[in-house]
Structures are given as C-alpha cells and as structure tokens.
Amino acid sequence: MCYLRTIRFSPLPQEAKNSHLRDNVGIFSLFGKKDSRQAKPADKDSSRTKKQPNSSQGGASNTRPPTVKRDAKAALATAMKIDAIESEMSSEFVSITTQPPQPPITQQKKPPPPSAPAPAKPKTASAPAKPRSEPAQAAQRAPAAPLQPLAPEMGTTTDFLLDGQTAVADIASPASDAAAVIEEAAIMYANGQVDVVEQMLKSAIAEDMLGELTRTAWWMLFDLYQITGKKQEFENLSIEFASKFETSPPGWTASGRNENTPAQPAQSAKGATPMVPFSGKLDGACIKHVERALKLGENYRALRLEFAKVTEATAEGCKLVLDLFRKLQKTEHDLILVGAPELADKIRAIIEVGRRDDTEDSWLLLLEILRLLNQEKEFEETSIDYCVTFEVSPPAFVPPKSKITTASAEPASGAKAAEGFAMPAVVEGRIDNLILAIAAYSDEHSPAIIDCSNLNRVDFNAAGRLLTGLAPFCGVGKTIEFHHVNHLVTALFNVIGLKDIARIVPRKN
C-alpha cells in the first residue's frame, strides 16, 4: 500500500484531493456495492462542511494553517475507504473463480423465433434444474438438420461385393426378401461367381420361404447345372422337383461336350454374325449402311449383307457398294450375301450394251457380284459386253479368296424364321458392335427376334451397356424381343430394367 501512503501525506490542495478521490471512487464503483459507495461520499461532504474554518475567528493568530489538519484526516478516511473497496473486490474475484465455467456467448442457445416459441416448463423449488453438460448444451444449440448416416450407405450385399463397378445407373430396391435373393443370385452369376450362386439357391430352396418365386429359384438352379455340365446334380434336383411340385422336371439338354469335365469358356460376343440390310432405292443414302458394315468389319470376320429388299439401283449407290465389296475382299472377310442374284437383276435394268454412261461403276458392281457368286460363265459373258461398251480389255475372272455364302431372300420355314438374330454364348466386355448388329437387324425386322437359345451368361456391365445401347432404338418405335432366355439371364434382365424397353421371353421348361 505504498501508493496509499503517498496519498496520505501529499501536500495537494483540497480541490485536487477531492477530484482524485472522485476518480478513484468512480473506478472502484464498477466492482463494489452500490449502496455503500453512494452513502459514504455524502457523509464525507457533510463532515467536511461542518469542519469548514470559521471566517469570524481570528485565523491570523495561528502559526499553522487549519487546512493541514483537515487534509490529513481526509486522506486517512480516503485510505480506509480504499482498503474496504479492495477487500470487497478481492472477495468478488474469489467468488467469480469458484463458480462453474459458463459457455462463451457465441455458444449460448439462441432464442427460438417468435413464430415457434418453445414451451416453458414450470420450475419447482423441490426439484431445481440441473445445469446441462457441455455436450447436452451443444446438442440443443445445434440447428435441426436432416439425419445423416454415420457411414455411406452400402446398399445391398451385391452392391458391396461389386464395389460399385457397374454401368447401370440405378437399380430398384427388391420388393421382398425373396426377390432380393433372386436378384443377388442373378447379379453374382453375371459376374462369374458360380459356386456362390449355387450355394445361395440351394439354401433358398431348402428354407422354402420364397413364396411365388419358389419355382424361379428351382429353374435358375436347373439352368446353372445345365450350363456348368453338372448332370448328376441336375438329375438329383429333378427328383426333388418332381416330389415337391408333382409335375415333370425340366429335361437335360445335350450340349455336345464332355459332361464330366468343367464347362469350357463360351465364345465371346464376336462369335455372332452381324447383319447389315439394304432396302429401298440403292442410291447415295445407302452410305450409312456401308459405313456400318465397315465398322462391324473391324471386329467381325463374317458379315451378313442383305439386298433382297432393294427395289432400284443407281450408279451412285453401285459405286458405294462396289467400294464396300472391294474393301471386305481385301481384308478377306467371310460374307453371307442375301438377295445377291436379285441385286444383279436390278443392275442389269439400268445398263445397256453399247451405251457409255458417265461412270463404269454399275458394270463393275455387276461383275463383282458374279465373281463373288462364283458364276464364271455369266461373268465372262458380261465382261465381253463391258469390253464392247467401254472399249477396254475384259477383266479376268478370279475366284474369291474368302468364304462367300449365298442365302435365299425368303426364310426357309416357320421354325427357321423364328430363330431371328442369334446371340453368342457369353456377352461380356465392350459390346458396341453387338449392339450395332442388333440395331441393324431391327431395321428390317419388326419385331426383331433375338434368339438366346445358346446364350449362357451376360456380364453385369455388358448388360448395362446392352440396356443403354438399345434404349434409343426402342424409343423410336422398334420392337425387340429376347426369346429362349435362361432363367439366370432373365432375372438379370429384370434387375437392370431391360424388360422395360424390350420383351423378355424365358426358356420353356
């Protein structure tokens, strides 16, 4: 308290001391008790008023001024008051440090908006409200928000096993547990998990809780044994099927391979023979068919070219088809020519011996068709007419190096016609060419029958590409039907939604 001792013996005049005291009192009034601080200055002023020097007394006779004594008393009173205030401040600081910590202002709960006031709960003296803990206060302070999962949704077990690697954007949730079993078995089989699918279907059949999908599970297991060549398991399942449903089971179909050995990998989608149909007037518009054939020729060794529905030929169209034949012969592609003799007749109708046209393409296409059909006599007769007309040497006959097959313009019979476009045994990988071939077939056939008699499996990603690839064609009025589909692939087509754009006809049992 050295500072206070200095104040006590300061020789400052009275007005300066009063000002200094007022400043100190004003500062300490922020921390002290208001009643006591307001009362004490009043007493001090009254006592100071009473002790004012009497002007009527003879002050000149005293050797020491009377104000010095009063100043010492005032300083002593001021020091005592400052000591009391400091004592009060110390007690309040101790009280503040002993109270539980309060949350920062920014963390305090915001009052609810006026439109939705929170209902107040009555307080009782017997059960005072307990202070909330910090986590509880934080939970109450947090704004209402949609509930979020603790981890990203994993979806079905199949989605987790596939690690999201699929070309299919959305797959509808199964309607029941039985449907979930069928769908997961179909997707796992599509990804080659044959052993897992077998155990899953056997367990589902043993539990007998599939309801209306019970027979579907049996048929899927029959197809699985048939595809994998497990004849003994197929026969055992047939006995159980006949006992349970009291009807004949599906029959075993000889596949032409050693049934005691594991199934061999089936041929890929490239084994199918894509078809490019030409129809109507053979003119410059047929360039799209020519380009499609060349595109398919990049991945297929055999192509089926149909000319049965060509009604008229022009020199421009003949040039485009001639270029196509020459390019395919240069790459030694095998060709199936449908309606080639009819196309030759259409070309003869626009040429005349001795009339030199602007281009020789019509004559050259006719000679190329006769060569591909291996009609040497007709080729020599036509070459002489060509020589006379254009005054050039006749071309020599050269048999085609690749395999050229001719087909009738009309289907052989009803059974043969119903086969339609043949699907390969396995569809996997990038199937752009297969989609183009199916689209080309659908151009000339309504409905376009896709024969799946030999189809064993469709990879899951390939199934998604098949869906997205055929959707634009089905959206413009084309009708595509998949016939003789085994039940494993049928379930997969139902899962991905192919049934929504095409008709799926399962294999009859």
pLDDT band of 57, cuts 50, 70, 90: very low
User: Model confidence over 290-324: pLDDT tens digits?
Assistant: 998 898 888 788 888 999 989 999 999 999 999 99
* Pairwise CA distance, residues 255 & 252, whole Å: 9
CA angle 120, 126, 128 (to 5 degrees): 50
Residue 140 within a domain? no
182/209 same-domain check = yes
208/284 same-domain check = no
Residue 486 within a domain? yes
User: Model confidence over 64-78: pLDDT tens digits?
Assistant: 455 445 556 666 666
Burial class of residue 190, CB neighbours in 10 A (0-12, 13-18, 19+)? buried
**In this structure, what CATH number is given to the domain that contains residue 462?**
3.30.750.24
326/234 same-domain check = no
pTM equals: 0.49
Residue 418 within a domain? yes
Contacts of 103 (CB under 8 A, 6+ apart): 134, 137
User: Model confidence over 20-29: pLDDT tens digits?
Assistant: 445 544 444 4
* Among candidate residues 387, 407, 427, the one where a domain is terminated: 407
| Residue 404 to residues 332, 338, 346, 399, 400, Cα–Cα distance (Å) | 10, 11, 21, 10, 8
pLDDT band of 263, cuts 50, 70, 90: very low
Residue 443 within a domain? yes
279/403 same-domain check = yes
- Among the listed residues 361, 310, 372, 315, the one whose alpha carbon sits nearest the alpha carbon of residue 339: 310
Residue 40 within a domain? no
Task: Note the residue count of the chain.
Answer: 509
Structure tokens at 31: 């921390």
Residue 137 within a domain? no
* Among candidate residues 407, 425, 448, the one where a domain is terminated: 407
302/199 same-domain check = no
CA angle 292, 298, 299 (to 5 degrees): 105
Burial class of residue 365, CB neighbours in 10 A (0-12, 13-18, 19+)? buried
Residue 344 has pLDDT above 90, yes or no: yes
Residue 476 within a domain? yes
464/357 same-domain check = no
240/298 same-domain check = no
Contacts of 303 (CB under 8 A, 6+ apart): 273, 274, 275, 276, 293, 296, 297, 328, 333, 334, 335, 336
Torsion of CA 36, 42, 43, 46, to 10 degrees: 180
278/393 same-domain check = yes
348/304 same-domain check = yes
Q: Above pLDDT 70, what percent of the chain?
A: 60
Residue 9 within a domain? no
Cα 390 to chain center, whole Å?
63
395/421 same-domain check = no
Structure tokens at 202: 């056997």
* Pairwise CA distance, residues 367 & 395, whole Å: 9
169/210 same-domain check = yes
* Pairwise CA distance, residues 362 & 313, whole Å: 9
In Å, the largest CA–CA distance within the chain is: 168
Average pLDDT of the residues in 407-435: 69
Neighbours of 490 (CB within 10 A): 23
* Total count of domains within the chain: 3
Structure tokens at 119: 């209902």
380/457 same-domain check = no
The pLDDT score that the predictor gives to residue 437 is: 84
**In this structure, what CATH number is given to the domain that contains residue 300?**
3.30.750
When computed from its CA atoms, the radius of gyration of the chain, rounded to whole angstroms, is 51
Residue 183: which domain range?
Answer: 159-245
User: Model confidence over 164-201: pLDDT tens digits?
Assistant: 444 454 555 555 788 899 999 999 999 999 999 999 99
The pLDDT score that the predictor gives to residue 498 is: 94
User: Model confidence over 229-240: pLDDT tens digits?
Assistant: 999 999 999 999
* Among candidate residues 342, 377, 407, the one where a domain is terminated: 407
